[in-house]
Structure formats: C-alpha cells, structure tokens
Amino acid sequence: MKDFLFGFTYPFRSINFFFSHPVLIKYSITPMIINLVIYGSVFFFTYRWLTDSLESWLGVTDPAAGFWLRFLHIALLIIGFLLVLFVCYLLFTILGNLVTAPFNEEISQRVEEIVSGGMQHKMGFWEDAYTSIMGELQKLIFYLVILLFIFLLNFVPLIGNVFSAVLGTIFSFYYNALDFLDYPMTRKKMKFRQKLRVTNSGRMLTYGFGCTAFLLMFLPIINVFMKPILVVAGTSLYYEREYFQISSQFTKTSKT
C-alpha cells in the first residue's frame, strides 16, 4: 500500500520539478498545442454530432414534448457525454501519442540529463523520431490486442461484464504506467517484452502511478496540460526507483 500511495502521488510531486526547469516548459509548449487541437477537435465535433442527433431523434424541440421525453433526453446526454469522454481518451491516447512522440521523447531526454547528471542515450533527430514512433506503435498494438480480449469478455454470460470492467480498469492503470515509463527504455532500445518485465517489477508502485496517470488522462483539458508533466514523472520515477536497476540487467544481458 505504501508503494501504491507513493506512485499515486508522484505525478503531483513532479509538478515542482517541471516548473523548476524552464527547458522542460519550453519543450512542452508544442506537444500541448498539438494535443489541445486534437482533443478539442474530436470532443467538439463528436459531442456536437451527438447532441444534434439526439434532438432530432427524440424531437425534444417540439413544444408538445412531455416531461419524460425531456428527462430521457437529459439522461442520454449525460451517458453520451461519458461515452464521448471515453472515445476522446482512446483517440487522445492513440493518436496524440503517435503525433507528439518525438516531442515527448525530447522532454524525457532532458529529464534524464537532469536526474542522471548527463545525457546517456542521445540520438540524432531522425533516429530519435523513428525510435519513439516505433515504440508508440508497439504499445498501440499491445493496447488494442488486450482491449479486444477484455471486450470479448462481455459476451461471457452473467460474470462477463464484471470481469471486463475490473480487468479493464486494472489494465488501464498498468498501460498508463508503461506508457510514461517507456521513454528511457525505448532509448535503451529494449525489447518490448523486457519493457513489460521492467514495468511489472514495480508491482504496486506501477499501479499507483498508472492510476493517477489514467485519471489525469481521462479528464478533458487537464489531460492536455498534465501530459508533459506525466512524461517528466515517468522518466524521473524510472531513475529514482528500481526500474532503472532492473532494466540495466536486461541491457547488460543483451550485450553479452
């Protein structure tokens, strides 16, 4: 429980680290703007289409519309709003990560330089961009495969929906931790299964950090401004705790 709470509060303690180093703020401006455009556009047009469709389908603009019809309209708007948030979260996670991968990689490199006292894995721009985008594609395939499996659980009678909800929540915590711990591991050119083992090594620390990351990424607008801070938090946490020692064993093994 102690490790879970430490991981849960770590992103908030990284805010001071973020604002204490202006170079991190400078490199965060571009991905913030890109993510704001992506998330804002998807949310605005999707929710607008939903509200217009519901009004047309239910006919609530008709003066003869009764109380229960208006009540149903409000209930469906609330449910639709939550569904739009979920869709935006998925697109923000998938599309936003791919588009801003090189920028987030640069932020992570700067954090590594600060916490380790020197740039350990500096790459050229094009190699950096290629490596970071390929790393995002690996995570994306992993994410979609597990999501498909969890979705199929809904078809299991009686207990399928419960298992799907529980596993979906746990996986969301895990994936968000992997997502932000991944940057230094990608620069080390670790294999994906090694990244999973390093992330697993954190146990409750991983899930605590992933829980906060998931909640912050789910909140509209807040997610845009918190994402660079989570990149900072993930890289800093990687070096501060046992993740770095575990991954060092893998890189030594791969060299021998």
Look at residue 256 in the predicted model and tell me its pLDDT. 43
For tokens 């940057």, the residue is 183
List pLDDT tens digits, range 169-214.
999 999 999 999 999 998 888 899 999 999 999 999 999 999 999 9
* pTM of the predicted structure, to 2 decimals: 0.83
- pLDDT at residue 44, rounded to an integer: 86
Rounded distance between C-alpha atoms, residue 33 and residue 37, angstroms: 6
Task: List average pLDDT for each run of 10 residues in the chain, which is 256 residues long.
Answer: 93 94 93 86 86 81 74 87 83 79 89 78 62 84 92 87 92 95 89 93 95 91 91 94 80 50
Cα 11 from Cα 14, distance rounded (Å) = 5
Where b means 16+ CB within 10 Å and e means fewer, 80-116 reads: beeebbeebbebbbebbbebbbbbbbbbbbbbbebbe
